[in-house]
Structure 1
Amino acid sequence: MGGHRARTEHEWSVLVSASKVLLERVPGLTDLLIDELQAHSPQFDLAVPRDEHWQQINEAMRYGIEALAASRSAPRRDLLYAEQLGRQRAEQGLPLDLVLYAYRHAGYLVWDELLEIVTDKNPDALPVLVHLASDVWAGVDRQASTVADAYRDTEQEMQRRSDERVQALLDALLEGRSTPGLASSAAAGLDLPEQGRYAVVVVRVERAAGREPFRRVAMAEGLRFFWRMRTDYEIAVVALEAGVGLAELSAVLHRRCQGPGGISPVVPGLADLGLARRLAETALRTCGPDARGIVRLDEHLPTALVVSQPELAARLIADVFGPLLDLDPADRALLLETLDAWLECGGSAGRAATRLYCHRNTVFNRLRRLEQLTSRSLGRPRDLIEMTLALDAFRLG
């Protein structure tokens, strides 16, 4: 509790003499402080075992009293002990305001006891003690500051470790691990229900210079996002409240990023996040290498089937578009672009012609040529399905 002002020999003599008596009274002061702290808040006894608390208060008081009469160059055992207690109280979960209350209340008890000792033993020295009051209270403040700094540092480190643990649990769920208790531990750490409505979002992120950064969202109406970074994409676990669906989620994401990205269907619990991640990645693959936008898997299921089976997709391309593969690349691209436009326009040659900046008869001629080359008819449903899926496979490949 020592201060920084240079003291006279008389002041040192008064403090040394009073401190010797004061040290003999520490056990009684410790009993008194323990009782007063317990009366102030039951959290003291809940957080710290009484025997341990008594021993630590006794030790802290002794170090503080020793510092009163110690030279400026002496080691500050009171501050080292305050740092140790600050870390321990943070780990025990005792609120910082109560830790500081205990330190400052101890200061009041020690100061009152000093006044009583000097009044009884050497009343003429009372003016000297009063003159040293600012030094004594500066020492108490320094101890309180030390304990608070150590407490906050430990609290931040504990929070960091807790966050890392929760993120590791989330990663394990996204990887599809089935460790017993994993979902319940993650639910407790994230403050989420183990059983609930969840979706997973995968967004490809290009970190090239000059590109607008991806603006993550943490909360939206009825939505909570938990993001995890990967090398070239980011994953979000999204908790959806009742009444909020994938349409609202998609709208929020469209406002935040260009994509491409994929959204899984809704799954019923945290244990299903591994499946949801795989489905979101499949949705992302339906976007193609140069596509933009956020894609919902449930709106692209046929294409998802194609990209999920690359070997079958390659066989489909070869079987349906085999003769086209031998054409000049520009000629082949023109025919496939026409088919794509016709499909996007719902089978309307006129609208496709407008999109392609050509006459509708040109569209008809290209489609007839495509039918001849593939030996398939766009008027037969099964042939149309094969050509549509083959087009998706070719475009995404």
Structure 2
Amino acid sequence: MSGRRARTGHDWAVLTEACTALLDRLPELVDQHLRELHAHSPLYARVLSQDQHWQETEKAMRIGIEAISAPRTQPRRDLEYAEWTGRRRAQQGFPLELLVHSYRQAGYLIWDALLESAEGPEGGDPEKLAVLMRAATTVFAAVDAETATASESYRATEAELRHRTDERLQALLDALLEGKESAGLAARAAAGLDLPEQGRYAVVVLRLERRDGREPFHRRIQGAGMRFIWRMRTDCEVGVVSLGEETTLADLSELLAARCPGPGGISPVVEGLAGLGRARRLADLALRTCAPDATGIVRLDERMPTALVVSQPELAERLVADVFGNLMGLDPADRVVLLETLDAWLACEGSAGRTAGRLYCHRNTVFNRLRRLEQLTSRSLSRPRDLIEMTLALDAFRLSGAA
């Protein structure tokens, strides 16, 4: 026993005799111990069944008393049982502080009972009392060791149970994000995650970039009126956002933009947890509308034309080839100038003057480049259908990462 000094001869015999006599009083001691525990807290009776608690307490106290006088070479059965008790109490959801209190209270009770055994009608046995006093460190070292073992077992079991619960909840959330259909799935997830089954939700997908040792974006993202639950993936961070009644997608976009550079995509609002699978797919689609070197957070409802392009990669490739096919034979630098001019002109809402200011060139230069682009594509920027084709082709070209 930890901290126990070796005992031989007379002291050993006296301590062994006192412990053996104490075992005869064990039922009485167990009853007294349980009365004191119940007086200390009603949770002992509320959480633990009376019969089972009595039997477990009787076994723990009996093993503990036997351990006080047991040779150091014997196995520590008291610590084995303390480990079992700590694990069982954690599984029962019993508070750790009350488990610790029960061990310490039992130690005090056993010590008082040992001292009482040295008392008698004629002043007691001074020699026996002296032996027991020398054994005080042994008794309380045993109680401390048992308490520490039970506490350590409790915490380890509690951590394991919490990990299992987290894994189960993560599995439920993953199933929702993957769009799996299962009876009661949304209800189980709502109960476990403490979220309303019916409510306004959006999904955010943030592309993982090199962090330079910085923490993931999601640890820095919280907002009033919004609750975030994040899942890490190999290439992205996925966030389920409970928006509440008043929060808008514009509020969410503003919050995200202020806390991470992106790129990222935000889904439209869906009603209820059962819609998270669709929201995840739409958030992925929004993210795919971001060019490879893009930053910022985009909303799908603001990128619908581009989303149509990226959702049909084969058609997007054919569109680029059909509209910009003649540009592919140009010198890369010449091609870049023409496409950058078109991009700036679209961003400036068709204003040649503003486009010239953005590109640091004369407005006639802008006109000349656009006319050349019209000639190469056989399309006119003044015809709405041609303009739509060129705009979508430009988006498809940029998203392809082609130079």
State TM-score, norm by structure 1: 0.93
Q: Among residues 151, 159, 164, which one is paired with 1:161 in the alignment?
A: 164
1:247-262 matched pairs, under 5 angstroms: 247-262=250-265
Distance 1:56 1:2 in 2: 24
1:12-27 matched pairs, under 5 angstroms: 12-27=12-27
Secondary structure of 1:6's aligned partner = coil
Higher mean displacement: 191-200 or 143-152:
191-200
Distance 2:262 2:210 in 1: 13
Q: Is the 8 A contact 1:218 1:224 kept in 2?
A: no
- TM-superposed CA distance for 1:85, in Å, is 0.4
1:136 aligned residue: 139
Q: Among residues 327, 330, 334, which one is paired with 2:333 in the alignment?
A: 330
Code of the aligned partner of 2:34 = I
- TM-superposed CA distance for 1:268, in Å, is 1.7
1:227 aligned residue: 230
- TM-superposed CA distance for 1:218, in Å, is 5.0
Secondary structure of 2:98's aligned partner = helix
Distance 1:322 1:238 in 2: 43
CA deviations over 1:30-62 (Å, ceiling 9, x no partner): 223233323333322332222221211111011
Q: Does 1:343 align with 2:346?
A: yes
Q: Is the 8 A contact 1:223 1:238 kept in 2?
A: yes
Code of the aligned partner of 2:100 = L
Code of the aligned partner of 1:215 = F
Code of the aligned partner of 1:386 = E
2:248 aligned residue: 245
Identity of aligned residues (%): 64
CA deviations over 1:151-194 (Å, ceiling 9, x no partner): 11111111111112111211111111111222222222222222
Distance 1:350 1:218 in 2: 40
Q: Is the 8 A contact 1:2 1:67 kept in 2?
A: no
1:179 aligned residue: 182
Q: Is the 8 A contact 1:68 1:136 kept in 2?
A: yes
Cα separation, partners in 2 of 1:226 and 1:88, compared to 1, 3 Å? same
Distance 1:356 1:198 in 2: 41
- TM-superposed CA distance for 1:333, in Å, is 2.6
- For structure 2, list consecutive stretches of 5 or more residues without a partner in the other structure: none
CA deviations over 1:85-135 (Å, ceiling 9, x no partner): 001100111101111111112122222222222214962322332332233
1:74-89 matched pairs, under 5 angstroms: 74-89=74-89
Aligned pair count? 396
Secondary structure of 1:378's aligned partner = coil
Distance 1:317 1:215 in 2: 35
- TM-superposed CA distance for 1:213, in Å, is 5.4
1:383 aligned residue: 386
2:69 aligned residue: 69
Higher mean displacement: 327-336 or 150-159:
327-336
1:347-386 matched pairs, under 5 angstroms: 347-386=350-389
CA deviations over 1:268-323 (Å, ceiling 9, x no partner): 22211111111111111111112111111111111111111122222333343343
Higher mean displacement: 317-326 or 247-256:
317-326
Cα separation, partners in 2 of 1:214 and 1:149, compared to 1, 3 Å? closer
Secondary structure of 1:221's aligned partner = coil
1:28 aligned residue: 28
Code of the aligned partner of 2:300 = L
Secondary structure of 1:258's aligned partner = coil
Distance 1:365 1:138 in 2: 93
Q: Among residues 313, 323, 326, which one is paired with 1:320 in the alignment?
A: 323
Distance 1:6 1:350 in 2: 98
Distance 2:213 2:106 in 1: 59
- TM-superposed CA distance for 1:360, in Å, is 0.5
Distance 1:12 1:268 in 2: 75
Q: Is the 8 A contact 1:201 1:264 kept in 2?
A: yes
CA deviations over 1:181-225 (Å, ceiling 9, x no partner): 2222222222222222221111111237x5755432353222222
Cα separation, partners in 2 of 1:396 and 1:147, compared to 1, 3 Å? same
CA RMSD of the aligned region, Å?
A: 2.1
State TM-score, norm by structure 2: 0.91
